């Protein structure tokens, strides 16, 4: 088992990474304030792991309430959130009743937001079962639901008590979902860890093939990068915004094509290509650097051709981005591979050229 700590003073917590952790009752019990918990899963993950996790908890004397939600990004909304509240209220869940998010990023975000708001805050645990959620969404306390006008626009910063990333769950992950997770892994190398990016270029084929050692290392390195950023900027007032590399474009793609059409990681991958193109057009990185970004994403079986939403529609959708300040778009760009920064100075002509070119190549 590998362990990464998120250092947040009294709210610090551990990320444990390893195979078979869902059956480790001792790790779970240490984070539960009482012997009652609600397990939130979706209709895809519940048949795979819900019974086993319930048995683990029951064997340790924990009364586990199952809450099964519909699967998919299109269900990350108020209606689905209310299903969690309905179950908690019907079971008379108390402030010491922990919520356990068993699943991918959608379940983790909904469960975390429910925990942040039910009775003004109850404890929760993240048990991520997808690569994307293990390396990104389960760590750092961002919780949210979507709105028709924008992704993750309604939510709260609320930290879990524990993250258990059971690498064994990646064996049942569809290939498309695995690739979507690799987008977030590659992101860490591009924004702040060039040695990791170099390692990824050498080992991306092993990750696609699900080599256990390579996956465990990539998950740990990714979590360590995110934990370091969150520790110094929990509420995204500075450095944490760099973790949104590719997301301004990516969220526009997800919203513009309809939630669930593109997986989040696929949209982020495309967003990283567009952000790299923009970085090149304003003279920050070379064409060869852009090609390195494209090449590793292609090898990870991720899209590098954007949907043709039109320049005006892209701009409209990006106007809802959380990094907008005083009505001005702000982008995470690359000063060089391995070093990102937030820019409010991207020339409109360069941005429009990138978006127009993306549509032409769709």
Do 292 and 336 form a contact (C-beta atoms < 8 A)?
Answer: no
Burial class (CB within 10 angstroms; exposed 0-12, middle 13-18, buried 19+) of 265: buried
**Residue 247 annotated to the active site:** yes
Of these residues, 83, 244, 254, 280, which one is catalytic? 244
Of these residues, 83, 247, 281, 330, which one is catalytic? 247
**Residue 16 annotated to the active site:** no
Joined together, the tokens standing for residue 230 give: 């969150």
Using CA atoms, how far apart are residues 331 and 318, in angstroms rounded to an integer? 10
**Residue 5 annotated to the active site:** no
Of these residues, 92, 120, 202, 348, which one is catalytic? 120
Beta strands in the chain (DSSP E): 2-6, 13-18, 36-42, 63-69, 98-103, 124-128, 142-147, 150-157, 162-166, 331-336, 339-343
Of these residues, 36, 151, 226, 281, which one is catalytic? 226
Of these residues, 161, 251, 280, 322, which one is catalytic? 251
**Residue 210 annotated to the active site:** no
Of these residues, 83, 240, 280, 330, which one is catalytic? 240
Of these residues, 73, 184, 220, 254, which one is catalytic? 184
Rg, Å, the chain Cα set? 20
Of these residues, 36, 75, 83, 142, which one is catalytic? 142
Of these residues, 73, 234, 236, 254, which one is catalytic? 236
Using CA atoms, how far apart are residues 127 and 40, in angstroms rounded to an integer? 10
Of these residues, 161, 192, 264, 322, which one is catalytic? 264
**Residue 120 annotated to the active site:** yes
Do 219 and 165 form a contact (C-beta atoms < 8 A)?
Answer: yes
Please report where in the chains the tokens 């990646």 appear, as a residue: 170
**Residue 142 annotated to the active site:** yes
In three-state secondary structure terms, 43 is coil
Number of C-beta neighbours around residue 348 at 10 A: 9
Q: Which residues pair with 3 in a beta bridge?
A: 16
Catalytic positions are 120, 142, 184, 226, 236, 240, 244, 247, 251, 264
């Amino acid at each position: 088992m590998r362990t990464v700590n998120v250092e947040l003073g009294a709210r610090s917590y551990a990320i444990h990474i390893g195979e078979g952790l869902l059956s480790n009752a001792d790790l779970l019990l240490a984070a539960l304030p009482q012997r009652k918990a609600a397990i939130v899963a979706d209709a895809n993950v519940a048949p795979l792991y819900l019974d086993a996790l319930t048995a683990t908890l029951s064997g340790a004397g924990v009364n586990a309430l199952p809450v099964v939600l519909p699967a998919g990004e299109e269900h990350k909304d108020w209606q689905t959130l209310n299903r969690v509240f309905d179950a908690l209220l019907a079971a008379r869940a108390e402030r010491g009743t922990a919520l356990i998010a068993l699943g991918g990023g959608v379940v983790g975000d909904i469960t975390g937001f429910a925990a942040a708001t039910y009775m003004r805050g109850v404890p929760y645990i993240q048990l991520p079962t997808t690569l994307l959620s293990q390396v990104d969404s389960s760590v750092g306390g961002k919780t949210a639901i979507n709105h028709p006008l924008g992704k993750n626009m309604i939510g709260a910063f609320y930290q879990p008590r524990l993250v258990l990333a059971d690498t064994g769950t990646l064996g049942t992950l569809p290939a498309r979902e695995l690739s979507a997770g690799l987008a977030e892994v590659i992101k860490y190398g591009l924004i702040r860890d060039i040695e990791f990016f170099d390692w990824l270029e050498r080992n991306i084929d092993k990750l696609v093939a699900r080599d256990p050692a390579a996956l465990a290392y990539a998950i740990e390195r990714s979590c360590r990068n995110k934990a370091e950023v969150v520790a110094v900027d929990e509420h995204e007032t500075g450095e944490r915004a760099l973790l949104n590399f590719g997301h301004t474009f990516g969220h526009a793609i997800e919203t513009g094509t309809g939630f669930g059409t593109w997986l989040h990681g696929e949209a982020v991958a495309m967003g990283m290509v567009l952000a790299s193109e923009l970085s090149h057009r304003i003279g920050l990185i070379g064409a060869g650097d852009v090609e390195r970004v494209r090449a590793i994403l292609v090898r990870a079986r991720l899209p590098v051709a954007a949907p043709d939403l039109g320049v005006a529609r892209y701009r409209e959708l990006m106007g809802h981005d959380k990094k907008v300040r005083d009505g001005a778009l702000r982008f995470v760009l690359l000063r060089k591979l391995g070093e990102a920064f937030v820019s409010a100075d991207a020339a409109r002509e360069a941005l429009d050229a990138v978006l127009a070119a993306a549509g032409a190549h769709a």
